[in-house]
Amino acid sequence: MKRITCRYHCPACHGHFSSVNAFDAHRVGDHATGRYCDEPADDERFTALSERGVCRMHSVERVGVAVWTLAADLQRARQRSGGNLFAPFEAGKDREAA
């Protein structure tokens, strides 16, 4: 059972993101009015790579978190990998710890 891992953790809203693009996209607003965090679940630009991802950004591992990516990025990744949409996110370090 492979797991999706949080790569870019937001310290403000504790959102979990698989790419820096997705992380950047959830930070909205301008510097004049203040930047704030968008809610990925309410934004169609985002899609959850997994609803049962893993976040190791804390001292205690958290399992069962939603890890977000950009829908457009996922589409591109899926095309590159010939249909296996999770392949680009299943590098060695995402395997279960021994």
The answer to the question of residue 55 lying near Zn ion (CB under 5 A) is: yes
Q: Which span (2-10, 40-48, 68-76, 83-91) binds Zn ion, by CB under 5 A?
A: 2-10
Q: How far is the CB of 79 from Zn ion (least distance, A)?
A: 27
Q: Which span (45-53, 54-62, 73-81, 86-94) binds Zn ion, by CB under 5 A?
A: 54-62
Radius of gyration, CA atoms only, the chain = 14
**Residue-by-residue DSSP string for 34-86:** --EE--GGG-TTEEEEEEEEEE-SSSS-EEEEEEEEEHHHHHHHHHHTTT-TT
Which residue ranges make up the site for Zn ion (CB under 5 A)?
A: 6, 9-10, 12-13, 15-16, 37, 55, 57
